[in-house]
Amino acid sequence: MIKNQLKYNADKIDKFLINYIRKQKKSLLVSPMKYGVISGGKKIRAKIMFDVGKLFNISEKKLINICVAVECIHSYSLIHDDLPCMDNDSIRRGKPATHKKYGEATAVLAGNSLLTLAFELITDKKYSITHKQKIEVVKSLAECSGHTGIAGGQQLDLKFENKKKKISQIIDMQKKKTGKLFNFCFKAVGIIANKSTKEKESLGILGENIGLLFQLADDFLDIKGSKKLVGKQIQKDAKKGKSTLLNLMGYKKAYKYANNLKKNILLKIEKHGKKAKDLSETIEFILGRNF
Ligand code: GRG
């Protein structure tokens, strides 16, 4: 069952991170950082990386630092996303958002510290990938997180509120805001598997499309999900005037679009045969999920 696999995987990521932070010097930010990243969230980006690793026989040990780093960046983006100056949400993962629990200044600093922790994790001298791979992974993660990636996507998301935008503009925004981190998850495995530049690019594009699918599912949950299961406020997108494919196309058309996207993604990984079993299940889960 994918739910059990996700839970098992999330515990593994949490344990690694708790252990990693324990070995660092103490600071006042450890508690809000842990609050924002540990014991909550599906950790699906890490799961996807392990699934992609299986396509190329890459062990979890070779990927774990990057998986934990991705989850740090993701949680950082959620902590900042919930701030009053961004999406102004007070509930995240079924508990008060980090700024509600610790205050806004602390939430900003805890988020920033998770961002930098991600790069510490990847460049750690005990992490056994080559220096060349570390540099390439760091560059890719920086590109996917900054103004050409999630931060840039978030800026577009905020600018698009209450504006009439074209489908192509919304897709571009969502591919940056949500897709780029999934792009990174795929590309990073390509780097560790020593794939060619062309192969790494194709892996990235595939990941980005899975990110778009993930965002579509997130938009469906905003309409039809249960607040308890999703762990955050629902039915906010329309109220906030968010530009989403769902708001533009309507539920039926958007669902058809998402289903076609999923089919095309599954076709792309078919060539890996049995090795793609876990990845296919995760992709099915992404569109069918209720949390
Ligand atoms: C530069 C990293 C960075 C952040 C600053 C605030 C911001 C810019 C970006 C926000 C990006 C954002 C919130 C994208 C939404 C992606 C999304 C669908 C989140 C929900 O992800 P899940 O369902 O959450 O994986 P859990 O709680 O399971 O981890």
Using the predicted structure, report yes or no on whether residue 1 has a pLDDT greater than 90.
Answer: no
Residue span of the structural domain in which 143 resides: 2-288
Atom of ligand 1 minimally distant from the CA of 75: 29
**What is the tens place of the pLDDT at every residue in 256-285?**
999 999 999 999 999 999 999 999 999 999
Among protein residues, the one whose CA lies closest to atom 8 of ligand 1: 151
Interatomic CA distance for residues 111 and 21, integer angstroms? 15
Interatomic CA distance for residues 255 and 220, integer angstroms? 8
Q: Encode burial over 190-205: b for 16+ CB neighbours within 10 A, e otherwise.
A: bbbbebeeeebebbbb
Using the predicted structure, report yes or no on whether residue 137 has a pLDDT greater than 90.
Answer: yes
pLDDT at 71: 98
What is the model's pTM? 0.97
Which amino acid, 101? K
For residue 269, the tally of other CB atoms under 10 A from its CB is: 19
Using the predicted structure, report yes or no on whether residue 39 has a pLDDT greater than 90.
Answer: no
The CATH number assigned to the domain holding 180 equals 1.10.600.10
**Residues in the chain, how many?**
291
| Cα–Cα distances in angstroms (integers) from residue 167 to residues 96, 170, 174, in the given order | 34, 5, 11
Around ligand 1, the residues with Cβ closer than 6 Å are 41-42, 44, 73-74, 76-78, 80-81, 86, 93, 145, 150-151, 154, 177-178, 214-215, 218
Structure tokens at 284: 């099915």
| Cα–Cα distances in angstroms (integers) from residue 185 to residues 44, 94, 228, 266, in the given order | 10, 26, 28, 17
Query: Which of 65, 99, 55, 14 is closest to 193 using CA atoms?
Result: 55
**What is the tens place of the pLDDT at every residue in 88-112?**
999 999 999 999 999 999 999 999 9
**What is the tens place of the pLDDT at every residue in 186-237?**
999 999 999 999 999 999 999 999 999 999 999 999 999 999 999 999 999 9
pLDDT at 87: 96
Among protein residues, the one whose CA lies closest to atom 17 of ligand 1: 178
Total structural domains in the chain? 1
